[in-house]
Structure 1
Amino acid sequence: MSRIIRRFLQFLTGLAALALLGFGGLIVAYIALAPTLPSVEEVRNVELQVPLRVYTADGQLIDEFGEMWRTPVELEAVPETLKQAFIAAEDRRYREHPGVDYQGLTRAVWYLVRTGEKGPGGSTITMQLARNLFLTSERTYLRKLREIFLALRIERQLDKDTILELYLNKIYLGQRAYGVAAAADVYYGRPLAELTLAQQAMIAGLPKAPSAWNPIADAERARERRAYVLERMLDTGYIDQARYDLAMAAPLTAERHRREREASAPYVAEMARDWATDRYGREEAYTGGYQVFTTMTAERQADARKAVRRGLHEYDERHGYRGPLDRLDVPALDEEAEPLFERLSEYPSPGALEVGYVSGVGEQSATILTATGQTIELSWSGMRWAREQLGRNAMGPNPETADDILSEGDVVYLRQAGGDWRLAQVPEPQAGLVSLSPQDGRIEAIVGGYDFSLSKFNRALQAERQPGSAFKPLVYSAALENGLTPATLINDSPVVFADVSLEDVWRPENYSGRVFGPTRLREALINSRNLVSIRVLRQIGVQDAIRHIEKLGIPGDQLPRNLSLALGSGEVTPVELAGAYTAFANGGYGVTPYFIDRVVENGEGVIYRAYPDRAISASEMAPARPSEVGPQRPDARPAERVIDERTAWQMRSMLQDVVREGTGRSALQLGRADLAGKTGTTNDQQDAWFSGFGGDLVTTAWVGFDELQTLGRYETGGRAALPVWIHFMGAALKGRPETEWSRPAGLVTVRIDPETGQRTDSDDEQAIFETFREENLPKRGTEADEEDVSDGRSGGDGTPIF
């Protein structure tokens, strides 16, 4: 045997030994690593991380939360050319290999032997899936072995289509987008089916370096990757030369798209996010694919947002102009408009405000260039309000010309009101509004402030403030439950209390500073008499009143144990106060405000559904709910009665008179007879409230500063908060029928003397009608004609009256 042959045989023997050694090493490595690899069942049941999505009751997307944007899709929904693009770019032998492409792996090993460096190639789609699902991206030999073994395991038990579907939903494609559907949305703002071939190729080129080479981060490298994918598709025969040429010539159209929000309700989104993370945990809530459907409707949310902003701007205009945002160098900006627009775009635009630059000032007009390039002629009617603000209760003289207000170069805010432009500014105070169904407490609109971008504090839900006289109906309902009547006379006269719990001698007064002597309860509520309310509370007892108020849903630990309770010195949130008023609107039932209707888990269906208490007589009380909100659900329980239905009826009647004759009469402009409510104002006008109901809604509005300070002289609940309530209810109840409350049995209506509250004769020209419980009929002053009755406000339903 020649020497050459012996050397060759030795070489083959050594090579075989090395092969055996390598094979043995692989067996040993597999034995060692196999127990640490996930089972195929884990791969099959892997939960793709899908963000939390929040919707309105009518199915409009409000917002989504989570680090990963993902919209799982079935393989059938992925365009064929997009699947081909990924296979051509990442694993052209995908349909042929068993999970590991030995040809590609051999090339990668040979490259390592030749160069001593790790090179490209060898990683299949299945191996990438294994790495993305369970392994890290560290470039080590041990990780690569684990990847190979897991890929082989996956391929043995899952078919190619299932693996490809998992891959296309799992792969990271830059800009927080995970999966091809999310990438189509992020880069192009459109569904997969609408992508062009060039756009599909762009997405298929992203797995190589998704963070660095995506078309937003580096357009040139992204273009190169797109060309690479198209060339591979041409080489494999997936596309012809004509389609290749057309796609190569296509311009880059990718840009950062935010998932389209269909409804603007950021305070609602934050409430839902907080609820979901508390219930499911932060990590699970953000990745579990939960779809949270709130009780709010998009239309009513928009009405509430507009009402709050409009009311705050109206307040702001009453207190003067604080001057422009800034003043720019006019000569430098006159030369070219583009720098001006760039500068204007740097200013924030909270609410619906437009930033503008004053380019010209006339006698009683001004020309404004907005950041969007629009030219607006601001008329005198839109700026004449702008007296200089000197303090909360002081303003300068009325302007006579536009240059008393504006100068060329001023940067100002504008807003639209009724189609006209007005000079504006960010309002100084804040506001909160909540509107809910008295039937079951379903919150249908909630706004926590002027603009969520300025402050995320939700004043409708979180701000605990003194409600002032808006709290009195709760005390008066306790009085009616304890035997007093709307005609009970209470002396409206000065009182002085030496109360240890109040830390000093207390001398409460009426808002007007006047006293009126003996006053009927109805009249006292209509005119918001403080001294009467205090005497009423003293008569029924503070502890009994608190027990009654707790049944209406106000926590007792928030309430003072002294007579100041009668004036609303306890602290409540707008949601709590609205919840308490529902008992007056629904016939005496206690319902709890709620804002989550149901939760749908990705692939699992409904996993949570609200189970509210519902007023039994709700169907008689209010019109049917709009069809777009969804049908009434049977999965509700009867609400507990918290006050006598006769008390609820009497309170509605008294609160309707507050609107007809008292501090809430501005609401008459809505032209509805079913409105009822009460204003509230605290000391020094620090808080302004209106809480009331009509139609199928109970709504509470609050206006005030976050840090306690006066809203200004005369800024009462009727002036500052009631307009917000009116703006909202006018829009929300438009075209909706008025509520007709049936009068319960056990009530009778009689003529009374308005001075004494006693029953009187039919020939008494000063007599008025009042409604009482049968057991609480007042004494007769003189013999009355029981046949002479009225079918007016109190007895118009045909109920026998006296």
Structure 2
Amino acid sequence: MARARTPRSPWRRRFVRLVQVLVGLAVMAAIGLAIAVYVAREQLPSFDELKSSPNGQMIRVHAADGSVLVSLGPSFGEWIPYDRIPQVMRDATVAVEDRRFRSHIGVDPIGVARSVEVRFQRGHWVQGGSTITQQLARNVFLSSQKKFGRKFREWILALALERKFSKDQILELYLNKVYYGGGAYGIDAASRKFFGYGADQLSLAEAAVIAGLVKAPSNYSPTADATAAVGRAGVVIAQMERNGYISASEAEAADPHGLKLAPEAKQNSVRYFTDWALPQLDTLIDETTAPLEVWTTLDPAMQRMGDAAVQQNVPAGAQGALVSLDRDGAVRAMVGGTDYVSSIYNRATQAVRQPGSAFKLFVYLAALEAGHKPGDTIVDEPVTIDGWSPRNDSRHNSGPVSLRTAFAYSLNTVAAKLGQEVGFSTVADMARRFGITTPVNTHPSMVLGTSDVRLIDMTRAFASVASNGIAVTPYGITRVTANGQTIYTHEVDRSHVLVAPYVAAEMTDLLQTAVNTGTGRQAQIGRPVAGKTGTTTSNKDGWFLGFSSGLTTGVWMGRDDARPIAGLHGGTAPAHAFAAFMKPATANRPIEQFETQVTMPEWQLGNEEDAYFGQPDNGMAVDADGNPVQTAPAQPADDGPAPDPRAPAPSDDADSAPPRQELNQDWIDRVTGRDPRRTAPPAPRERAPQDDRPNP
């Protein structure tokens, strides 16, 4: 009797069918891939055509007046045939960029798998696993946008290149076309730029420096950061030894520290602006090959004024930065440091530093939007919030004062009380609303400017106040043309209202009082100015930001290592630099009166001769939770005239007061630029109530 057959499990049948489908799909995918590679191979230019194609894109950058600021593009360099390329240059490149170059088919599955593994370990892409062939395909035929579609085309082209050219030809193309920074495409241009002679003379250490540039040309450029370049060269040499290209003794003998660089062509601060503006082309236009004419907002005369203002006022050993925006957000001047050649780091757009009392702009904006008025009375008294007890830098409290007075003299206790009243998260939201892009903490001490900010963001915020509460967005490119055709034109958006116009007007009221009689007196330029100083713990940072006649300018000064600078206050060097720039920059502009009239704060806030001699507005240190840390108070400068003992010395920069002025109409006319012969004395917009003034 025949044994009954056991029926197959339905799950087994389904599994077999799934495997069959997957195998079929894999075969179809392989056939499709082979067809795509074959088609791409047939469409690739010949080796001679690729040799003669241009390296990179030529870009000519124009200032607002049409003059040429800078021409960027390929530097001169000869095509070096494979047999003339030094062996150390070839080995260094393969060792650091693609050690399996000779064995893979154009795409390295091991490298891709490693990059995916690192992606899951780190949570973001750290390395792309691109082979030399893939990099060549990307540099010659594609853009650098990180999209899967572009990556897939890169794989197809890499496989096609490997089918059409030999490994030696691919390496020759790569070494003569890859970008090494500073406008240098190819090893010969890079060698001439950095060492002053052709690539066929490169030593091991020199080849290691150049090979190390490919990963990040700006970060590892020996002319921008010699330490980083030497460190990267050490990595390349170690890789060469690890992969057997050089011996241990050769690696030890190679000394990147002893290399002598060719003299760098003289640059100026305009490059800070072009370095900031030109990367925006990647998002503004799609053209990647045709020569471009880029028209920008930069005013060469203002740029020279900004450069001079920073150079002449920055403390010894410190850095300075300046940004000036026109009323529509056009960047008219940008100074990112004292010397572009020694440091391409743009402190106007990249550095994040604490703003000190300049951050009180957002505290008072939130208070005004909540219903407060500049003449409202608030009590200056000791206050404790969640264990934090801010003090005025004068170590003195004045009792009932108006908001105008509290802002003009940068009273910390009042700012803390306002922040608590409206909510610290509300203040943080106001800062973000006005364009602060860095994280803003909500600890109580945040009202004194303990969150790091960028100068360009703070300048943007002040410009938006000057624009009656309408958002101002900084921009640097107005128009781009290619082959005579306009392919991009900037359009200013004036539709985004941040605060009601009356709130912006009241804030301007407070800001002009700070310049006329408060902490920003050194920023006066003989016409209406509104602004605010900022000084951080132990005089590490000094700020002044303000506006006049449609121009808003921000100035920062400090050390890159954040060490204290004796005598640095927002109302000294930064305010001086602001005035030195703004006076000539606005000279040919009509004098514009603010919508609010000049109103003087109270003058009699105490009867002690030295009650208001103090430290910067944020002269206390705080920990990560916003709690105070005891520090030894710095001593005020002993030079310069003493302030009027009847008036509260500014909490920010008390020792920088100008000679005492008599408060009369002539003085008001002088600081606001009014001609009393043509303009009637202004009626005061409002007066602080009489009982706002404490008894002497």
User: TM-score, length-normalised on structure 1?
Assistant: 0.45
Describe the shift of the 1:484–1:48 C-alpha distance in structure 2 as closer, same or farther (beyond 3 A): same
SS class of match (1:494)? coil
- 1:697 Cα shift? 0.5
Describe the shift of the 1:583–1:304 C-alpha distance in structure 2 as closer, same or farther (beyond 3 A): same
Q: Alpha-carbon deviations, 1:336-390, whole Å to 9, x = none?
A: xxxxxxxxxxxxxxxxxxxxxxxxxxxxxxxxxxxxxxxxxxxxxxxxxxxxxxx
Alpha carbons 1:62, 1:264 under 8 Å: kept = no
Describe the shift of the 1:686–1:259 C-alpha distance in structure 2 as closer, same or farther (beyond 3 A): closer
Task: Determine if the alignment matches structure 1 residue 693 to structure 2 residue 576.
Answer: no
Alignment match of 1:740 (pick from 562, 578, 593): 593
Q: What amino acid does structure 1 have at the position aligned with 2:376?
A: T
Task: Determine if the alignment matches structure 1 residue 588 to structure 2 residue 469.
Answer: yes
- 1:277 Cα shift? 5.4
Alignment match of 1:562 (pick from 443, 459, 463): 443
Q: Report what 1:440 is aligned to.
A: 328
Alignment match of 1:522 (pick from 393, 404, 408): 404
Describe the shift of the 1:675–1:35 C-alpha distance in structure 2 as closer, same or farther (beyond 3 A): closer
Q: Report what 1:611 is aligned to.
A: 491
SS class of match (1:721)? helix
Aligned equivalents of 2:452, 2:600: Cα separation in 1: 39
Q: What amino acid does structure 2 have at the position aligned with 1:308?
A: V
SS class of match (1:558)? coil
- Give the superposed CA RMSD: 4.3
Mapping of residues 384-395 of structure 1, within 5 Å = none
Aligned equivalents of 1:512, 1:750: Cα separation in 2: 24
Task: Determine if the alignment matches structure 1 residue 290 to structure 2 residue 292.
Answer: yes
- 1:37 Cα shift? 8.5
Task: Determine if the alignment matches structure 1 residue 546 to structure 2 residue 548.
Answer: no
Q: Report what 2:58 is aligned to.
A: 51
Alpha carbons 1:272, 1:292 under 8 Å: kept = no
Q: What amino acid does structure 2 have at the position aligned with 1:655?
A: L
Q: Alpha-carbon deviations, 1:376-429, whole Å to 9, x = none?
A: xxxxxxxxxxxxxxxxxxxxxxxxxxxxxxxxxxxxxxxxxxxxxxxxxxx311
User: TM-score, length-normalised on structure 2?
Assistant: 0.52
Describe the shift of the 1:278–1:69 C-alpha distance in structure 2 as closer, same or farther (beyond 3 A): farther
SS class of match (1:592)? coil
- 1:441 Cα shift? 1.2
- 1:463 Cα shift? 0.9
Mapping of residues 185-200 of structure 1, within 5 Å = none
Alignment match of 1:731 (pick from 572, 584, 587): 584
Q: Report what 1:449 is aligned to.
A: 337
Describe the shift of the 1:53–1:506 C-alpha distance in structure 2 as closer, same or farther (beyond 3 A): same
Unmatched 5+ residue regions in structure 1?
1-33, 71-132, 135-141, 144-175, 179-185, 187-209, 213-255, 316-426, 500-504, 614-637, 757-767, 769-789, 797-802
Structure with the bigger percentage of strand: 1
Aligned equivalents of 2:602, 2:574: Cα separation in 1: 35
Aligned equivalents of 1:492, 1:451: Cα separation in 2: 44
Describe the shift of the 1:749–1:692 C-alpha distance in structure 2 as closer, same or farther (beyond 3 A): closer
Aligned equivalents of 1:586, 1:311: Cα separation in 2: 29
Q: What amino acid does structure 2 have at the position aligned with 1:453?
A: V
Task: Determine if the alignment matches structure 1 residue 512 to structure 2 residue 362.
Answer: no
Aligned equivalents of 2:273, 2:583: Cα separation in 1: 22
Q: Report what 1:226 is aligned to.
A: none
Aligned equivalents of 1:466, 1:280: Cα separation in 2: 35
Alpha carbons 1:478, 1:549 under 8 Å: kept = no
Alignment match of 1:711 (pick from 565, 571, 576): 565
Alpha carbons 1:559, 1:571 under 8 Å: kept = yes
Mapping of residues 212-223 of structure 1, within 5 Å = none
- 1:795 Cα shift? 7.5
Aligned equivalents of 1:655, 1:37: Cα separation in 2: 63
Alpha carbons 1:658, 1:678 under 8 Å: kept = yes
SS class of match (1:271)? helix
Aligned residues: 403
Alpha carbons 2:284, 2:488 under 8 Å: kept = no
Aligned equivalents of 2:409, 2:265: Cα separation in 1: 51
Task: Determine if the alignment matches structure 1 residue 666 to structure 2 residue 673.
Answer: no
Aligned equivalents of 2:576, 2:600: Cα separation in 1: 35
Describe the shift of the 1:177–1:693 C-alpha distance in structure 2 as closer, same or farther (beyond 3 A): closer
Q: Report what 2:9 is aligned to.
A: none
Unmatched 5+ residue regions in structure 2?
1-40, 78-139, 142-163, 166-182, 186-191, 193-197, 201-261, 606-663, 665-680, 688-696
- 1:612 Cα shift? 2.2
Q: What amino acid does structure 1 have at the position aligned with 2:318?
A: P
Bigger radius of gyration: 1
Higher relative CO (Cα under 8 Å, sequence separation at least 6) belongs to 2
Describe the shift of the 1:64–1:490 C-alpha distance in structure 2 as closer, same or farther (beyond 3 A): same
Aligned equivalents of 1:563, 1:511: Cα separation in 2: 17
Q: Report what 1:365 is aligned to.
A: none
Alpha carbons 1:490, 1:536 under 8 Å: kept = no
Q: Report what 1:537 is aligned to.
A: 419
Alpha carbons 1:436, 1:699 under 8 Å: kept = yes
Alpha carbons 1:65, 1:273 under 8 Å: kept = no
Aligned equivalents of 1:69, 1:61: Cα separation in 2: 20
Aligned equivalents of 2:598, 2:310: Cα separation in 1: 40
Describe the shift of the 1:279–1:612 C-alpha distance in structure 2 as closer, same or farther (beyond 3 A): closer
Q: Alpha-carbon deviations, 1:70-97, whole Å to 9, x = none?
A: 9xxxxxxxxxxxxxxxxxxxxxxxxxxx
- 1:639 Cα shift? 2.5
Task: Determine if the alignment matches structure 1 residue 463 to structure 2 residue 318.
Answer: no
Alignment match of 1:66 (pick from 57, 60, 73): 73
Mapping of residues 5-404 of structure 1, within 5 Å = 50-68=57-75, 265-276=270-281, 288-312=290-314, 315=315
Q: What amino acid does structure 2 have at the position aligned with 1:739?
A: E
Describe the shift of the 1:48–1:177 C-alpha distance in structure 2 as closer, same or farther (beyond 3 A): closer
Describe the shift of the 1:479–1:288 C-alpha distance in structure 2 as closer, same or farther (beyond 3 A): same
Describe the shift of the 1:568–1:48 C-alpha distance in structure 2 as closer, same or farther (beyond 3 A): closer
SS class of match (1:554)? coil
- 1:259 Cα shift? 11
Q: Report what 1:579 is aligned to.
A: 460
